[in-house]
């Protein structure tokens, strides 16, 4: 059993070493694919020198321009060779120790897609506006796709690899989250949720998603309900 860890990266120099060390110490057979989305803060150079030297078996893919998280994930998906795949952001909001929690229902045959819910496990409180935005987008997802998710926008999504690679994905930015969810649910696949730990960061700590991305996510949910 091989787990592929997809890590999209954009300007994460302050947290890069720590998150990659956390991923490395997880006791699961894994391949790691890092996709740098044209970082300009030194992240790219660190990946090409220190990280590539320290982890020679990891795949480091470089975009020639900034294209967005969705584009980075689509680049990474094309290089997956593992049996299962999980998305890991390059900040410290999500703890790779939770990989085992996500993997357990899949290995037990209970699920083929598992989401880690930030709202049912141990977590640092979010700003109210972020909490409200997440709850609203999840509610819209549940209404449109007849499901009962608690956290559609979570980064921690784990899939059987053939399912993720079989999705026809087009989003370049943060709307990749609702696109993936909508296309999974439209296939009749029920998503399994497990509680995870979460340490959300603020804008002054490097958080990048804004209310504009929320509008994009809402539009994506509506759009992909109608089209493939």
**CA 14 – CA 43 distance, rounded (Å):** 9
DSSP code for 78:
T
Whether 191 has a pLDDT exceeding 70, the answer reads yes
- 138 vs 210: CA distance, rounded Å: 16
Q: What is the mean pLDDT of the chain?
A: 91
Q: Is 3 exposed, middle or buried (0-12, 13-18, 19+ CB in 10 A)?
A: buried
Distances (CA, A) of 87 to 36, 60, 120, 129, 204: 14, 15, 19, 24, 24
Q: Which two tokens stand for residue 199?
A: 């340490």
% of the chain residues with pLDDT over 90: 80
Question: What Rg do the C-alpha atoms of the chain give, in angstroms?
Answer: 16
First to last CA, the chain: 31
pLDDT value at residue 206:
46
* DSSP SS3 for 91: coil
3-226 classified as CATH 3.20.20.140: no
The predicted model gives 50-79 an average pLDDT of 97
Look at residue 204 in the predicted model and tell me its pLDDT. Answer: 47
- What pTM does this model have? 0.91
């Amino acid at each position: 059993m091989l787990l592929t860890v997809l890590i999209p990266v954009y300007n994460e120099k302050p947290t890069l070493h720590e998150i990659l060390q956390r991923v490395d110490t997880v006791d699961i057979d894994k391949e790691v694919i890092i996709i740098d989305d044209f970082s300009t803060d030194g992240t790219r150079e660190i990946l090409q020198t220190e990280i590539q030297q320290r982890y020679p078996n990891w795949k480091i893919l470089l975009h020639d321009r900034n294209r967005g998280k969705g584009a980075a994930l689509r680049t990474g998906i094309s290089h997956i060779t593992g049996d299962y795949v999980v998305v890991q952001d390059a900040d410290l909001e999500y703890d790779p120790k939770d990989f085992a929690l996500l993997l357990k229902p899949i290995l037990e045959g209970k699920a083929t897609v598992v989401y880690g819910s930030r709202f049912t496990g141990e977590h640092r409180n979010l700003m109210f506006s972020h909490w409200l935005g997440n709850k609203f987008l999840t509610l819209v997802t549940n209404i449109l796709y007849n499901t009962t998710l608690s956290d559609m926008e979570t980064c921690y999504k784990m899939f059987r690899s053939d399912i993720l690679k079989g999705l026809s994905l087009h989003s370049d930015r943060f709307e990749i989250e609702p696109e993936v969810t909508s296309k999974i649910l439209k296939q009749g696949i029920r998503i399994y949720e497990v509680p995870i730990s979460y340490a959300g960061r603020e804008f002054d700590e490097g958080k990048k998603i804004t209310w504009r991305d929320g509008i994009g996510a809402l539009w994506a949910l509506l759009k992909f309900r109608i089209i493939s």
